A and B are shown apart, each in its own frame.
Chain A
Amino acid sequence: MLTFFLIFHNLRKYFYRKPKLENTVLEMSERRIFEHPILDFDRGDEFYFDFEGEKVKAYEGETVASALYADGLRKFTESKKLERPRGFFCAIGKCSSCIMSVDGRPHVRTCVTQAEEGMEVKRHGSKPKFPEVDIGRGKERKEKKIEIAVIGGGPAGLMAAIVSARNGADVHLFDEGDDLGGQLVKQTHQFFGSHEEDAGTRGIEIGKELVEEARDVGVNIHTETKVLGYYEEKKITVEEEGRLTIYDTEGIVYAGGAIENYLSFENNDLPGVYGAGGVQTLMNEEGIVPGDKVLMVGSGNVGVIVSYQLLQAGVDVVEVIEALPEIGGYQVHASKIRRAGVPISTAHTIKKAIGEEKVEGAVVQKIDENWEPVEGTEREVECDVICLAVGLSPDTGFLRQADCEMEYIGELGGYVPLRTEDMMTTRRGIYVAGDAAGIEEATVAALEGKIAGAALFEDLREETEDTRKSKEEAKEGLVPVVLSMRRCADDWGLRPILLNHKKGDLRMSRISILPSSFTKGVNCG
């Protein structure tokens, strides 16, 4: 361990530059990454906004939450009933842990709000005030007819949009973020896979290429839009540029991705307990380190890869714990962080987070083969961030609204829609691809998107040379493993299938850690 401390203690000098300007407030030091072995952070102009009467530095393109985090703020709000401190958590606008009052408007999700010069930001705690400004009315509602709506701009959605658009369909792609690429843009590591499928290329680069291709083939890209709901006859409501628009579609590919799993342990809501995806967003997109010492919970591929990325950003990973008796991720990823001196403790769980206003440490504990904590094995780990990499669950709310039939498949991360091998759900014209169809990885998501885009085009128009080939090629790369006996005999061929990349093993999707309270009752793979 000591070795490890020394390496990073020394390296840290290179990563952090002391704040140049004296008027940065809040007691903490600069958290921005200025040099990185893989990434370049091109920051825009520097400016200041007001946070509770103090000046806070921000760079053009940064969100309010990032700038505040970089300045050392940890407590963003208070929870509404228990009045507990809450921090930044998901970093992608899904949770409500970062809401503040911005220019008099309460309940603003600061992690998806761009910082602007002179902005006035205040914490409003558990009882926000009535808006102090006239928030006006939204613009008039619109209704538009389109052919295909693709929801989600990650690898699955982009691929589906590309295939259907290049065959001549009128395709609209909706994504919440200001950049497309989904989780690919956070992936700084080289991908596995075959040479032809971009192996060895970093996710971040694959994402950029897909976005460019989508633009080239004429996909109508709608960024910073929120898909609010599904209504009869394949209508979707979208919030876009302050306006509610109803898109009347002929076909939909839903590629809404996944949600990070949360874990129950004492004080699990303290600022400093973050999801692995949130840490990646902060670190690899915003260029801000989450803390000094990280305890990683979960040794699946996400856990070990994010640990490696933390090391690359100059952050000390003090330990990786794993509830299973063996490491969940690939040996090569685990070996990488072991070589940097990071210990991995299997058959361990987290008992509690220590701290009042933010994480100041954690207590970890051994568990036995029945997932029961072993008395007397508790020990304290010094850390200021607890990173949860305990699996993902498919984000399927939209599909439920559309009445697509679902089934719970533990191996796929939870409830997933039944679908054909062409990725069509039980509702004609509604297709699914990517993590929303079951937790896999980026290559599988892209291949599923390819199938869905081609199949939907054929459904609405006709089979073309390209759709036939796209489907064929994508299916060649995937091996369907039927996981549900319930629907196997169904004439429609509707079933949840785990599409393994080639004959890859099941580790890709394995939930890497189960809480100490893991149960007998849940049928969870």
Chain B
Amino acid sequence: MTTVVCRCEDITEEDIVEAIEKGYDELEKLKRHLRLGMGPCQGKTCLPLARRILGRETGKSVEEMGDPTSRPPSQPVSFSLLASLEESEVDE
């Protein structure tokens, strides 16, 4: 029996409930503990679902759950692209 919340990082509802029980009761904490939302889609799919689960388990309001930081790159990017920086450019 598997209910997936984060498809990219293979995190199930069970994983999240277990983590909440251990005290990871904010989205940022869940993210750091489970890698929730840290896969290629960057939390686009799982965060709304995770919010619902967190609300159900803890009774917290959306504001109390916090909202994880968003950082570039927003999408998967190949190393070859980043490797295109010439050394001289890196110093700029």
Contacts and interface: CB of A to CB of B under 8 A. Distances in A.
The answer to whether A and B touch in the complex, with CB atoms under 8 Å apart, is yes
Given A242-B81, A244-B84, A518-B52, A230 B72 contact: yes
Interface stretch (A55-63, A74-82, A295-303, A470-478): A74-82
A524 B62 CA distance: 9
A222 B30 CA distance: 37
A237 B72 contact: yes
Interface in B1-23: 1-5, 7-10, 12-13
A227 B48 CA distance: 23
A226 interface: yes
Nearest to A256: B74
B65 to A, nearest CB: 9
A228 B71 CA distance: 9
Nearest to B90: A141
A399 B44 CA distance: 14
B86 A395 contact: no
A264 B16 CA distance: 12
A519 B55 CA distance: 6
A13 interface: no
Given A135-B78, A228-B75, A522-B51, A140 B84 contact: yes
Interface residues of A, number: 64
B72 A268 contact: no
Interface in A387-436: 393, 395-398, 400-401, 406, 408, 414-415
B76 A96 contact: yes
A259 B49 contact: no
Nearest to A99: B40
A262 B46 contact: yes
Interface string B62-83: 1100010111111111101111
Nearest to A520: B59
A519 B72 contact: no
B83 A138 contact: yes
A136 B72 CA distance: 23
Interface string A323-354: 00000000000000000000000000000000
A263 B7 contact: no
A276 B28 CA distance: 29
A398 B74 contact: yes
A265 B3 contact: yes
Given A80-B10, A522-B62, A523-B61, A138 B5 contact: no
A272 interface: no
Contacts of A520: 55-56, 59
A228 B45 contact: no
Nearest to B44: A259
Contact of A79 (B10, B52, B73): B10
Nearest to B86: A140
Interface in A242-279: 242-244, 259-269
A504 B2 CA distance: 41
Contacts of A226: 75, 77
A95 B80 CA distance: 21
A135 B77 CA distance: 13
A95, A242, A521 — which one has the most chain B CB atoms within 10 A of its CB?
Answer: A521
Interface in A462-506: none
B81 A244 contact: yes
Nearest to B92: A143
A96 B89 contact: no
B76 to A, nearest CB: 7
B55 A522 contact: yes
A398 B44 CA distance: 12
Contact of B3 (A135, A264, A398): A264
Closest 8 A-B residue pairs measured CB to CB? A229-B72, A521-B55, A138-B84, A519-B56, A522-B55, A81-B10, A400-B70, A96-B40
13 contacts: A79-B7, A82-B2, A82-B4, A95-B8, A244-B85, A260-B45, A262-B48, A269-B2, A398-B70, A400-B69, A401-B72, A414-B48, A521-B58
Interface of A: 79-82, 84, 86, 89-90, 93-97, 107, 109, 135-141, 226-231, 237, 239, 242-244, 259-269, 393, 395-398, 400-401, 406, 408, 414-415, 515, 517-524
